[in-house]
Structures are given as structure tokens and as C-alpha cells.
Amino acid sequence: MTHPTTNSAPEKITTMTNEPNNKLSNALWRIYQRPERPVAWTQGGNLPWNDPDFSERMLREHLDQAHGAASRVEQERLLQIDWLWAKLDLQPGMHICDLTCGPGLYAVELARRGCIITGIDFAPAAITYARALAEQEGVADRCTFIEQDIRTVHLPAHEFDAVLLLYGQLAIFPKAEAEQLLAKSVELLKPGGAFAIELLNQNRVDKTDSRWWFTDHTGLWGDTPFLHLGERFWDDDAALSTERFYIIHLETNQMTEIHLCDQTYAISTMSNMMQQAGFATADAYPRWDGVPLYDADEWVVYVAQTGRG
């Protein structure tokens, strides 16, 4: 028996319905009809950190000491904090703003060392945890945690001795927003204040396209059986990767689509951007300046300073 073959895929879904039995079919059609390459930042560009359920699941990853994917494990974190303490010349009593503070693991340690902390993050479970951790460590009076988007949060100008933006989050914003965040950091700092930011090393980033899939019943993407389908696209001209995830929840046939963008920067580009934003100096430290982190090779830490006025 021969099977008729065709090279032309149907262009349109003829019947799309919300009936539960058709949800899976609709989801599969959506995948089938996806644009070949997603256009960066047209459908979000960040993980849904601020979704309450996702944020609860992500918190487990932050605290998991078996890996450092969401927050680095404690031993490495303390080495980083020692390095930042020396390099930024931090002192007890200084005011520090931790942008994208997550569950406050850096912030609370800095408060334990005597600093006065303002931590900003828009993940609800992370902020709840950070507040509880500060209480537990007896430093709640030195910590303020604010659940807000770092792009829109309003903070007093020239209040901080240091601003931190750790673990790569600047990269998930389009360049214009990244520039605004750098300028905002300048504005937050006192004259002579220090800024530390950590970004992926552009030379080390995977510059290939790839696809993958897996199934699970627990983890970041859900706590009931799901199928995760992922694709990664590297745009060489823009030096940016866009990942597109489809997660099909098998018990409900609901599908979630997430796009995650990661803008990479050459060291010279980022140093220029920091000077354009108003920093007087900007130094780059590839490989975390030798701090022994398991993935240190992948990162560059920049330390910048505002002028003394």
C-alpha cells in the first residue's frame, strides 16, 4: 500500500475550540504553526518569576544545595560576598541596594556583616522567604525587601553606598532597558558609590541553535506530569539567544508558552554602556577574578564607581 505524501502543510487551524478534549489538539496545532524563529521580546522575554506558583517552585531551586542554577550554593556565595566586600570596600553601616535579590541570600549575609539592605525582586515567594530569613538571622531591622519590578520601583536618589545586580539578570532586558537600569543605578548611588554587576561572558556563550524535550512530574515547570519542548535560537548579529519553551500539562491539557531572551555583551560594549550611563570608572573581572566558582569561566563581574562629585 502506498501513502499519499504532501509537502505542503495546512496553513490554518480550521476548527479551534475550548472544549477540554480539543485543548490538546489546539495546543499541538499552536506548536505546529509557531513562527519558525521567535522575534526577541515580542512575547515577553523573561521567565515568569513573578507568577506565584512558578515563584514557589523556583524558590525550591534557589535553596537546593545540590546545584547553583537559581542561586549559587552557600559555600560559593560566601566566597563571592568576601570578594565583593573587599572589591567594593564595603563597611558595616553602609546602605546597599540588591537589585533582583531573589530570596535574599546575599542581602541577609551582608546585613549579618552590619550593612543596611534594600532588596528588590518581583518574585513573591522569594521576597516572603527573604523577609523570614532576615527575621531568623536577627537582622530584620537592617533589611527592607520590596516586591516590585526593578525597572519601575521608585527608590530615593543618592541613598546607597553600593548597588548589586548579580547572576546575569540585566541580560534578559532589551538593550534600551538595560541602559536605563544602568542609569538608574548611577542615580541610586552616593558620589563615589560602587556598583557590581555580573553578566555572562560573551566569548563563552553557546552560539548554536538547539532543540530538546523531556517529561517530568515535578520541578520548575510543574508539579503534575508535563511535557516540556524547548528550542534555542542564536542571533549572531544581535549577539542574543532566544529560547522558546512549550509546556503541556498532561492532566489538564493546558499549554504554557514562554520566551526567554538573553542579550550578551562584549566587555568593551558593557564598559562603554556603564560610562555612558554616568559611571566614572568601570572595571571588568572575567572568571570572577579567580574566585573558585564551579562556573566562574562563564561569567564577567564588572565593578563601576560613580564620580566623587
Q: Which stretch binds ligand SAM (CB under 6 A): 22-30, 148-156, 186-194, 207-215?
A: 148-156
Q: Whole-number minimum distance, CB 211 to ligand SAM, in Å? A: 24
Q: Which stretch binds ligand SAM (CB under 6 A): 33-41, 149-157, 183-191, 286-294?
A: 149-157
Instruction: Please report whether residue 122 would count as binding ligand SAM according to CB under 6 A.
Output: yes
Residue number, 73 or 250, with CB nearest to ligand SAM: 73
Residue number, 177 or 289, with CB nearest to ligand SAM: 177
Instruction: Please report whether residue 169 would count as binding ligand SAM according to CB under 6 A.
Output: yes
Q: Alpha-carbon distance 85 to 88, whole Å?
A: 6
Give bridge partners of residue 216 from the DSSP assignment. Answer: 226
Q: Alpha-carbon distance 112 to 296, whole Å?
A: 25
Instruction: Please report whether residue 251 would count as binding ligand SAM according to CB under 6 A.
Output: no
Site string for ligand SAM, 13-52 (x = CB under 6 A): ---------------------------------x--x---
Residue number, 51 or 289, with CB nearest to ligand SAM: 51
Instruction: Please report whether residue 105 would count as binding ligand SAM according to CB under 6 A.
Output: yes
Q: Coil, strand, or helix at residue 283? A: strand
Residue number, 27 or 105, with CB nearest to ligand SAM: 105
Residue number, 166 or 301, with CB nearest to ligand SAM: 166
